[in-house]
Chains A and B, each alone.
Chain A
């Protein structure tokens, strides 16, 4: 029983990480209908930049996090204005190809600059275990879960409660009407992409302090994030959280009780089953399409 609780706790922690890292993807898809295949690379850049600002510039973790967020928001803004904007309104395929190209470019350019070795991001404080009843969790993991939850809440409030959020929702419902109402839609698109990019990078740096940053991690992150987002229903924040937790627990249980080697297969198998039986995701209500 204790073992089960430990697996469950591990699954919940990993699941929270998965949810966090999938947020940017689901935001960009849900609002912009862009399937961002470079998502994992934004995550990776967050980790690598996090390593750079903490290990090289010697900044403290939270200051570094803020700097990385600002840098990646700028990058996201530029990517949207110079790349995504050119294929807007042409359907999904050009966006998919463009972000695949961007992803190949970002991974290999990063490999050229920093090499393939893992890089440790200095954590916010010294690592140590926390005991909750029979369960052991490390402090850094708890912190990552807490910061992740805060990020999810903040993004949710930004979209639901602020002027920018209202402009975003208006733009994505009806770009023409929004621009007639005086909303500068180009900026709204760019801001949304920048936000998605920042969320990816924040999770990348946060998790690089638990594990480590690595130039080639992006592909795996993209795949897992897609799994999470498909499980929860594309475009839904709550779905991403639920999908992340489901995947985390499923992997922890499989790894704990069955076999450790093939843990990564679980997610793909779940996705294939979901797409066959409930293509709109487990948690989203069925939407009638006219």
Chain B
């Protein structure tokens, strides 16, 4: 707990100092994207790592957030500091509605239905041309006077800090322990008074809220939103970040986000090759590093007698 908090604080200080050391616009852009993915990976990790259900529909929240901010900005001319929080709230509302349906399901059903929701939203974004402008997308989203990459950097750093603060508080609270109890053993959780549906819902809505914030920021930063935000390629990227870093830890998804962002940038020209590699990486992680990099570190530490909350859901037993 303290170790994880201190690591996060050191990372925050480092991130605050970064733009004073780096002035190169391209490197700053990379840092902005890395932090954007930190928010997304952290939010997915709440569901995957702490509820223990595998959501393939997280882009639904990224996308609703992005479209919300884009519409508010292009139609009402609202600035970023209003559109981004609203984007988070709208995504949270979607999270509540989608969670109400999907969190009754487990295992493969949950995976498939969350994916189906993201797909439905993509189809809506593609076909409801009056609002979304269809496949053409919404362009020319205002940047609210933020001209400099460095200013965007501080905005997304604030969002990432917020996401990690909320996650930290949640994970180490009574509510977070309830979610872990559901992940580890649904039956024990119920027998100590935890409502599995309610506990999962909290984490799910919180994750949706953060993904919505990230989506809102993305809309302003890129200044364009199209149906691609709902696409599976985004989802694949976020999954790899969480798995590689280590689900069920707070630091893991950050590490994963930074590594994968750099990898993605390095292989930007060759999208197919990049995703081919990602596919191989996913398989390799499942086979050889099931708890990710942080899980690996934790296991090394455990051999010296200390433990932290780890992630793989326990095999469930029938009553």
Q: Which residues of A contact B (CB under 8 A)?
A: 29, 35, 83, 86-87, 90-94, 96-98, 100-109, 111-112, 219, 223, 226-227, 230, 234, 261-262, 264-265, 268-269, 271-272, 275-276, 279, 289-290
Distance in Å: Cβ of B126 to nearest Cβ of chain A: 8
- Contact among B113, B120, B318 for A275, CB-based, below 8 A: B113
Distance in Å: Cβ of B263 to nearest Cβ of chain A: 14
Asked whether, in the complex, the Cβ of A219 is within 8 Å of the Cβ of B313, the reply is no
Asked whether, in the complex, the Cβ of B119 is within 8 Å of the Cβ of A83, the reply is no
Supplied contacts A29-B108, A87-B287, A97-B282, 15 more A-B pairs, CB within 8 Å: A90-B315, A93-B313, A98-B282, A101-B279, A103-B279, A106-B279, A107-B275, A108-B279, A112-B273, A219-B232, A265-B120, A268-B116, A268-B117, A269-B120, A271-B113
Could you say which residues of chain A place their CB within 8 Å of the CB of B111?
Answer: 35, 96
Please report the total number of B residues contacting A with Cβ < 8 Å: 44
Distance in Å: Cβ of A270 to nearest Cβ of chain B: 10
The binding surface of chain B is classed by DSSP as helix
Q: Is B123 an interface residue (CB 8 A)?
A: yes
Could you say which residues of chain B place their CB within 8 Å of the CB of A279?
Answer: 105, 109
- Contact among A35, A97, A262 for B286, CB-based, below 8 A: A97
- Contact among B109, B283, B313 for A101, CB-based, below 8 A: B283
Could you say which residues of chain B place their CB within 8 Å of the CB of A102?
Answer: 279, 283
The binding surface of chain A is classed by DSSP as helix
Could you say which residues of chain B place their CB within 8 Å of the CB of A35?
Answer: 107-108, 111-112
Asked whether, in the complex, the Cβ of A223 is within 8 Å of the Cβ of B119, the reply is yes
Q: In whole angstroms, how far apart are the Cα atoms of A289 and B236 in the complex?
A: 35
Q: Is B44 an interface residue (CB 8 A)?
A: no
Distance in Å: Cβ of A77 to nearest Cβ of chain B: 17
Asked whether, in the complex, the Cβ of B318 is within 8 Å of the Cβ of A83, the reply is no
Instruction: Pick 23 A–B contacts, CB within 8 A, sort by A.
Output: A29-B108, A35-B108, A35-B111, A86-B287, A87-B287, A92-B108, A96-B111, A97-B282, A98-B283, A98-B287, A100-B236, A102-B279, A102-B283, A104-B276, A107-B275, A108-B275, A109-B279, A226-B116, A230-B112, A262-B124, A265-B120, A268-B119, A268-B120
Could you say which residues of chain A place their CB within 8 Å of the CB of B105?
Answer: 275, 279
Asked whether, in the complex, the Cβ of A94 is within 8 Å of the Cβ of B286, the reply is yes
Q: In whole angstroms, how far apart are the Cα atoms of A83 and B283 in the complex?
A: 8
Closest chain A residue, CB of each to CB of B282: A101
- Contact among A92, A105, A112 for B280, CB-based, below 8 A: A105
Q: In whole angstroms, how far apart are the Cα atoms of A98 and B282 in the complex?
A: 7
Could you say which residues of chain A place their CB within 8 Å of the CB of B280?
Answer: 101, 105
Q: Which of B112-169 contact A (CB under 8 A)?
A: 112-113, 115-117, 119-120, 123-124, 127
Could you say which residues of chain B place their CB within 8 Å of the CB of A264?
Answer: 119, 123
Q: In whole angstroms, how far apart are the Cα atoms of A29 and B112 in the complex?
A: 14
Q: In whole angstroms, how far apart are the Cα atoms of A138 and B200 in the complex?
A: 50
In order of increasing CB-CB distance, the 10 nearest A-B pairs are A105-B279, A101-B282, A104-B279, A101-B283, A108-B275, A35-B108, A108-B276, A268-B116, A261-B127, A111-B272
Q: In whole angstroms, how far apart are the Cα atoms of A92 and B285 in the complex?
A: 16
Distance in Å: Cβ of B3 to nearest Cβ of chain A: 27
Q: Which of B209-244 contact A (CB under 8 A)?
A: 232, 236, 239, 243
Q: Is B301 an interface residue (CB 8 A)?
A: no
Closest chain A residue, CB of each to CB of B312: A93
Q: Is B104 an interface residue (CB 8 A)?
A: yes
A101 touching B232 in the complex, CB below 8 Å, given contacts A223-B115, A230-B112, A271-B116? no
- Contact among A92, A111, A265 for B123, CB-based, below 8 A: A265
Q: In whole angstroms, how far apart are the Cα atoms of A94 and B65 in the complex?
A: 30
- Contact among B127, B273, B275, B286 for A104, CB-based, below 8 A: B275
Could you say which residues of chain B place their CB within 8 Å of the CB of A97?
Answer: 54, 243, 282, 286
Q: In whole angstroms, how far apart are the Cα atoms of A290 and B290 in the complex?
A: 31
A289 touching B279 in the complex, CB below 8 Å, given contacts A93-B313, A101-B286? no
Q: In whole angstroms, how far apart are the Cα atoms of A112 and B56 in the complex?
A: 25
Q: In whole angstroms, how far apart are the Cα atoms of A279 and B101 in the complex?
A: 12
Could you say which residues of chain B place their CB within 8 Å of the CB of A230?
Answer: 109, 112
Q: In whole angstroms, how far apart are the Cα atoms of A109 and B239 in the complex?
A: 19
Distance in Å: Cβ of B112 to nearest Cβ of chain A: 5
Q: In whole angstroms, how far apart are the Cα atoms of A239 and B285 in the complex?
A: 35
Asked whether, in the complex, the Cβ of A290 is within 8 Å of the Cβ of B286, the reply is no
A223 touching B279 in the complex, CB below 8 Å, given contacts A35-B108, A108-B273, A275-B105? no
Distance in Å: Cβ of B236 to nearest Cβ of chain A: 5
Closest chain B residue, CB of each to CB of A289: B318
Q: In whole angstroms, how far apart are the Cα atoms of A213 and B287 in the complex?
A: 31
Distance in Å: Cβ of B135 to nearest Cβ of chain A: 12
Q: Is B197 an interface residue (CB 8 A)?
A: no
Could you say which residues of chain A place their CB within 8 Å of the CB of B243?
Answer: 97
